[in-house]
Amino acid sequence: MSWSCQHLSKDSSWIGPAAIDPLAYCLSAVEADTDQFAQLMINQRTHRLILFSLVMNVVMVILSFAFAALTRSDAILLDGFFSLIGVIQAVAMRSVMRMQERPADARHPFGFSSYVPLLNSIRGLTILVVCGFAGFQAIVSIIDGGEEPDAGLGIIYGASAALGCLITGFIMARAAKQLRNPLLRVDSHSWLIDGFFSLVVTIAFVVALIFQSFDLNTEARYVDPVLVLVLLLLALPWPWGVMRDGVRELLLIGPSEEVRRQVIDQIEAIMAPLNPREVICRILFSHEELYVMCHVLVEDDAVISVAEIDRVRQEAMDRLGEAHIVSEFDLILTSNEAYGRLAD
């Protein structure tokens, strides 16, 4: 704490925040310290999870590149490139997390939250580029007559990779839900999708093994490139969605009409005691964090105390915070309709 709570009383001659009400001040200081400690624990847990994701990605890169060399499988090689992107993403996530822990400053007046959609946009674009290259290679392979993979080793890789990816994905998804962290949420989706791809790889190599057991070697040669194309078709919606959402947030495009209507309805209900003529909101929704600028149009002769303004603002933040993380809520009261309309 910044002030000592020992030996204070209401008749104390000591001048400071506790001179008015030492007990109330001490309780508020303890609560503030508790909140800081809780946030510190959350940050430490988040860093440990990102480090865990980084280590698992490195393991998957080594595993996939080794098996790709042994089996001559482009599908396994593609899986390895996805894991390599995950390594780069995890390193970048750690840097972004450190920046987000720093307070806003003159150069970054709204903090460092914009780095999250920037990171997601780059990740989505990178995966799309890799998918395009892999698709071109698969088409060339089909034209050239395919490649006969080692189906037995492919099955071993697919099963091992699927188990590792799905376990990691469920751990990250559970943590992302508990901590309400958008970076962990995107990372968990990536792990779960990778696990699903590995399951598809396993099934495809089982099919290739069946072809080989029936001396259908020609058909077995096409399993790998066809599998790559199937994986790409399944994969494309996810990186495209990640990149699209990241670009939307960078361009400060507002949330969906459903989220916007829900937020406005809550705010209008909370502002009702102020007897407003109209409530006009400008809303941004970035990686599960809300920024709201609220103009409340009141009558020219309205008398509203600062305490009442603070109360409704806090109530609005509390109510909105039940479903979202509220990064900022600016409340502006005015009787000038033209000025208020600037927020529409």
Q: Are 112 and 100 in contact (CB under 8 A)?
A: yes
CA pair distance 251, 242, nearest whole angstrom: 14
| Six token digits for residue 130 | 């890799």
> C-alpha angle 134/139/145, rounded to 5°?
125
| pLDDT exceeds 50 at position 278 | yes
| Six token digits for residue 38 | 């809780």
Residues listed for the chain = 344
Lowest mean pLDDT among 182-191, 259-268, 289-298: 182-191
Report the Cα 178 to chain-centroid distance in Å.
13
Question: Across the chain, what does the average pLDDT equal?
Answer: 80
User: Tens of pLDDT along 16-36?
Assistant: 444 445 555 454 444 445 656
CATH superfamily for domain 257-343: Cation efflux protein, cytoplasmic domain (3.30.70.1350)
| pLDDT exceeds 60 at position 100 | yes
- Please list, in sequence order, all residues whose beta carbon lies within 8 angstroms of the beta carbon of residue 167, skipping any fewer than 6 positions away: none
Does CATH place domain 28-250 in 1.20.950?
no
For residue 39, what pLDDT band results from cuts at 50, 70 and 90? low
Predicted local distance difference test score (pLDDT) of residue 119: 82
Q: What percent of the chain has pLDDT over 90?
A: 8
CA pair distance 23, 97, nearest whole angstrom: 36
Predicted local distance difference test score (pLDDT) of residue 342: 54
> Alpha helix (H) ranges present in the chain?
22-71, 74-101, 115-143, 151-179, 182-213, 217-221, 223-235, 237-250, 257-271, 306-320, 337-340
For residue 8, what pLDDT band results from cuts at 50, 70 and 90? very low
Residue 162 CB neighbour total at 10 angstroms: 19
Give 299 or 42, the one with higher predicted confidence. Answer: 299
| pLDDT exceeds 80 at position 111 | no
For residue 169, what pLDDT band results from cuts at 50, 70 and 90? very high
Where along the chain do its domains lie? Answer: 28-250, 257-343
